[in-house]
């Protein structure tokens, strides 16, 4: 497939297959992504297509191998070179438009809201000596910041879902996450302490294999509110855990737990994942 700048209006249009298209209305997308033994995306296997930036079902070109793309003179052999050229052709690279289009590859978010738990049907931790419960999330509810079925529109270009509703784990393998990319996960627990005063928090255990299996590599822990008010009253909190995807967990996963220093009941509202791509 030949893609190149428009002869008549190169600042505003590009041509593909001999037809003219307006810049700023299409984006590249990918399939056939794979991760090598080092946990890095294998660029040699990726296929690139082009679709509308406002309707992902409006596909201008289905994904094809890098070598099937041409600039009109030669066929491409390098993924990065093709992506650079296509990006320059598809995007109106000037001012705010350039910044916004580039930002799609650098920062994005995914939101998952749970409908399994509620104040009427909470998760119960009954030990008066304290304990923890694993956080579950069926991504089947609506959060305060909107419908949760919009992750494809808000995540980074090239990054798939990082939450598995079947295993209730965060997943990293094969999602498009790269080594040393950053994350900020905002957890939203709504908890009722059976006994006060009581301390609460979140812990994430990170593993080197999928679904919380393999070796536990490390844990991250963050304290939430200390409740000194009324026992039996629900109150929600926002707890952030931040970190980066090191090489040891790129093919792995993470399991999240909510803990308290005494007994409690928990409605888990959900979590939001913000992803930051580092420059390479």
Q: 147, 173 in Cβ contact below 8 A?
A: no
Instruction: Based on the fold, state whether residues 58 and 150 are members of the same structural domain.
Output: no
Q: What digits encode the pLDDT tens for the residues 160-179?
A: 889 999 999 999 998 889 88
Q: In this structure, what are the phi and psi dihedrals at residue 63, rounded to the nearest 5 degrees?
A: -60, 135
**In terms of DSSP bridges, do strands 47-52 and 26-31 run parallel, antiparallel, or are they unpaired?**
antiparallel
What confidence tens digit (pLDDT) does each residue in 212-270 have? 999 999 999 999 999 999 899 999 999 999 999 999 999 999 999 999 999 999 999 99
Of 69, 100, 131, which residue sits at a domain end?
100
DSSP secondary structure, 4-25, as one string: EE-SS-TTTEEEETTEEEETTS
Q: Which two tokens stand for residue 240?
A: 């952030």
Q: Are residues 16 and 96 in the same domain?
A: yes
**Closest residue by Cα to residue 89 from 25, 18, 181, 175:** 25
| Residues of the domain holding 137 | 107-276
- Domains contained in the chain, number: 2
Together in a domain, 134 and 172? yes
Q: 52-56, 58-62, 162-166, 253-257: which range is least confident on average?
A: 52-56
Place of tokens 């949760």: 148
Give the three-class secondary structure for 175. Answer: coil
The residue from 100, 127, 153 where one domain ends is: 100
Which of 80, 100, 120 is where one domain is finished? 100
Does 126 lie in the same domain as 58? no
Tell me the C-alpha distance between 216 and 169, whole Å: 13
Q: Rounded to an integer, what distance in angstroms lies between the CA atom of residue 72 and that of residue 82?
A: 13
Asked whether residue 158 falls in the same domain as residue 264, the answer is: yes
Per-residue pLDDT at 85: 85
Is the domain of 197 the same as that of 83?
no
Q: Return the DSSP state at 149.
A: T
Continuous segment of H or E residues that includes residue 269:
strand 264-276
124 and 244 both lie in a single domain: yes
Same-domain check for residues 185 and 92 = no
- CATH number at 213 reads 2.60.120
Cβ-based neighbours of 270, under 8 Å, separated by 6 or more: 111, 112, 113, 114, 137, 139, 141, 143, 148, 188
153 and 272 co-located in one domain: yes
CB 172 within 8 A of CB 39: no
pLDDT at 96: 47
One domain, residues 60 and 112: no
Q: Are residues 81 and 138 in the same domain?
A: no
CA separation for the pair 42, 85 (Å, rounded): 20
15 with 84, same domain: the answer is yes
| pTM over the 0.85 mark | no
């Amino acid at each position: 497939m030949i893609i190149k700048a428009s002869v008549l209006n190169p600042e505003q249009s590009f041509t593909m297959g001999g037809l003219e298209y307006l810049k700023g209305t299409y984006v590249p997308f990918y399939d056939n992504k794979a991760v090598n033994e080092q946990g890095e995306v294998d660029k040699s296997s990726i296929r690139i297509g082009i679709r509308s930036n406002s309707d992902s079902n409006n596909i201008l070109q289905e994904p094809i191998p890098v070598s099937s793309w041409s600039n009109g003179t030669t066929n491409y052999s390098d993924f990065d070179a093709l992506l650079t050229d296509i990006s320059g052709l598809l995007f109106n690279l000037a001012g705010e438009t350039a910044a916004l289009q580039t930002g799609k590859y650098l920062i994005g978010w995914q939101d998952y809201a749970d409908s399994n738990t509620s104040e009427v049907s909470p998760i119960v931790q009954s030990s008066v000596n304290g304990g923890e419960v694993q956080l579950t999330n069926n991504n089947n509810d609506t959060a305060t910041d909107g419908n949760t079925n919009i992750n494809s529109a808000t995540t980074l270009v090239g990054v798939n879902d990082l939450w598995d509703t079947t295993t209730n784990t965060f997943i990293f393998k094969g999602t498009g996450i790269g080594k040393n990319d950053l994350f900020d996960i905002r957890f939203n627990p709504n908890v009722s302490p059976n006994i006060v005063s009581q301390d609460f928090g979140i812990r994430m255990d990170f593993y080197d294999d999928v679904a919380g299996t393999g070796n536990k590599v490390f844990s991250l822990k963050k304290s939430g509110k200390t409740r000194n008010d009324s026992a039996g009253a629900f109150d929600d909190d926002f707890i952030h855990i931040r970190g980066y995807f090191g090489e040891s967990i790129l093919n792995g996963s993470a399991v999240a737990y909510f803990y308290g220093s005494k007994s409690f009941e928990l409605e888990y509202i959900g979590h939001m994942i913000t992803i930051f791509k580092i420059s390479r």
